[in-house]
Amino acid sequence: MDRVEFESVRKIFRHRPALFNWLGRERGGVTIALKDVSFSAGCAEILVLLGPNGSGKTTALKLISTMLLPDAGAVRVGGFDAERDAGRVRRQVGIAVATERSFFPRLSARENLEFFGALDEVSRRERAQRIDAVLRDTGLEEQADTLVMKFSSGMYQRLGIARALVKRPSVLLLDEPTRSLDAANAAHLWTAVRALARQQTTVLLATHNFAEAVAVADRLLLLHRGELLANRPVSDGESAETLRSFYFQMTGEIDEALAPGNRSLR
């Protein structure tokens, strides 16, 4: 059975101007973030959502995590509907968001993880052991008792991943997980992601980094302006360059690396 199912999902953001909007220049209207997108992810599969900024990758992850509700269609995790059975879905899903500072600044890394672990209903007996393990896995052991207000961007990002892992989710959502990481830490994360998939975790990873996509993906979803342009497996040994060519061919965007004469920003 598929662990994550997206069935004709549509998500629209409506921009309602302020009451006295005529005083300023705020624009109303709608943004269609996802247009009838359907896909599924199986047990132990690593699915990479690839696309430029504003393509709908983060919206898709937020819908799975129940942070957002769909306007049409259905999102299911482990057979449970994300709208009607949000509680059951949340118990299965762990999300590492791209927002770096989503922690309590005057608590240490360990105290933050203990807090979120309690809310994720990890028993007190198991919590300390699990927290030690995720701190070790994300390379934050030495900073475990440092207040997070003193953390760098990369440390925040690793702590976000640690937080998502404490509850041992069956579905792990990673939103641009290596954005603030150096090359060594990024490579370490990709190894960890593959190890999680071997332990039957389904991983959905949003990125616009071709190297990251080919390094971890079993399958690739290419999103562009809210539309799903491609849903295909990633073959062993596929290079970032091949994927790059595929991406520009599918999206119709101009690869400026290949067309140095065209310098206009789109």
Residue with Cβ nearer other proteins (5 or 120): 120
Minimum Å gap between C-beta 13 and other proteins is 5
CB of 90 to other proteins, least distance (A): 5
- CA 46 remoteness from chain centre: 12
Instruction: Name the residue nearer to other proteins (CB basis): 74 or 230.
Output: 74
Any idea how long the chain is? Answer: 266
Q: How far is the CB of 3 from other proteins (least distance, A)?
A: 17
Give 85 or 238: the residue with its C-beta nearer to other proteins.
85
Contacts with other proteins by CB under 8 A lie at 13-14, 59, 62, 65-69, 71, 87, 90-91, 93, 95, 97, 99, 101-107, 111, 114-116, 118-121, 124, 147, 163, 167
Cα-Cα-Cα-Cα torsion 58, 62, 63, 69, nearest 10 degrees, comes to: -120
CB of 243 to other proteins, least distance (A): 30
Pick between residue 118 and residue 250 the one whose CB is nearest to other proteins: 118
Nearer to other proteins among residue 55 and residue 65 (C-beta): 65
Return the number of the residue (33 or 234) whose C-beta is nearest other proteins: 33
Q: What's the farthest any 2 CA atoms get from each other in the chain?
A: 62
Smallest distance from other proteins to CB 87, Å: 6
CB of 63 to other proteins, least distance (A): 10
